[in-house]
Structure 1
Amino acid sequence: MLEYNPSNSIDADEWLEVDELMRSELVRKFHRGLDEPLSEDSLPGHALIHVIVENQIATNIELVPETIAKLVRQGLDRHEAVHAIGALISAQMFNLAQGNIEKFCTVKYKRQLKKLTAKRWLKGKRS
């Protein structure tokens, strides 16, 4: 895999053949090339979330590929759909880091994936 573009579906086999560090670097390289790139300080965390979501898609984690497809059908581009799912993961990771929860709750995550819509995501972004 030579390039990563979150607006395009990944080839699961190619993605999984690349080690985690290279996946993260591919994501960072993509974001550095944007018209409005992220700050270098925020890139590692942002890339980590992209890698987690893409790994879940590539390994067909329950509801993740379907949720990406649903969000795209509802009008989000794929990159924005990755961000929407990543936001769910990030929220739990933040709560873990703060000591508010003891472990990642997959039941809650699945429930959130089922409820996630493009409309809800866009509304939440404006709040």
Structure 2
Amino acid sequence: MRTYDPSRAPDPKEWSALTEDRQLHLVRRYHERKEGFSADVDEELHAVCHVTIENQVALGDETPVAATLERLVDEGLTRHGAIHAIAGVLMEHIWEQQRAFEEGQAPEDSTFSEDYFEAVENLTAQQWRDRAPRL
């Protein structure tokens, strides 16, 4: 795979065969070429989010991410926007877990994936539009 474009789904086998470093490189290169980054965007975190969601999509039916991405596109988001929407859910769950840890509450690892995937399944394009996100 020589290029990445979030508007087109990469072949899951080809994407999964890439190293994480290569995946990150392709995502960064796409954004640098096509869009650039605003000053308030953490470029590395942005790339990590794309790679994480693309890796979950590549798992197919093992997670609800691929079906949710498809549904969000059907609801009017671009594929790239749907990746951002799902990444937003992931980041919210990571931040919630970090906050709980800092408050001395030991989050249960076993529920993180369940809670995250449930939130992904419940995500709608309208919810994402209403948030006016900046990932």
Cα-to-partner distance string for 1:2-57 (whole Å, 9 max, x where unaligned): 00000111100110111000100100001111344345971111110111000001
Letter in 2 for 1:42: D
Q: For 1:113 and 1:41, locate their aligned partners in 2 and report how far apart those are by CA, in whole Å.
A: 23
Q: 1:67 to 1:108 in 2, by over 3 A?
A: same
Using structure 2 for the length normalisation, give the TM-score: 0.84
**Residue matched to 2:8:** 8
Letter in 2 for 1:2: R
Moved segments of 4+, more than 4 Å: 38-41
- CA apart distance, 1:96: 3.3
Q: For 2:10 and 2:39, locate their aligned partners in 1 and report how far apart those are by CA, in whole Å.
A: 25
Q: For 1:40 and 1:32, locate their aligned partners in 2 and report how far apart those are by CA, in whole Å.
A: 15
Q: For 2:6 and 2:122, locate their aligned partners in 1 and report how far apart those are by CA, in whole Å.
A: 22
Using structure 1 for the length normalisation, give the TM-score: 0.88
Pick from 125, 128, 135 the counterpart of residue 121 of structure 1: 128
Between Structure 1 and Structure 2, whose CA radius of gyration is higher? 2
Q: For 1:58 and 1:38, locate their aligned partners in 2 and report how far apart those are by CA, in whole Å.
A: 28
Q: For 1:107 and 1:49, locate their aligned partners in 2 and report how far apart those are by CA, in whole Å.
A: 19
Unaligned runs of 5+ in 2: none
Identical amino acids, percent of aligned pairs: 29
Q: 1:32–1:38: 8 Å Cα contact kept in structure 2? A: no
Paired residues in the alignment total 126
**Residue matched to 1:105:** 112
Q: For 2:13 and 2:4, locate their aligned partners in 1 and report how far apart those are by CA, in whole Å.
A: 14
**Residue matched to 1:69:** 70
Q: For 2:56 and 2:117, locate their aligned partners in 1 and report how far apart those are by CA, in whole Å.
A: 12
Q: For 1:30 and 1:67, locate their aligned partners in 2 and report how far apart those are by CA, in whole Å.
A: 23
**Residue matched to 2:29:** 29
What SS is found at the alignment partner of 2:132?
helix
Q: For 2:31 and 2:38, locate their aligned partners in 1 and report how far apart those are by CA, in whole Å.
A: 7
Q: Note the aligned Cα RMSD (angstroms).
A: 2.0
- CA apart distance, 1:75: 0.4
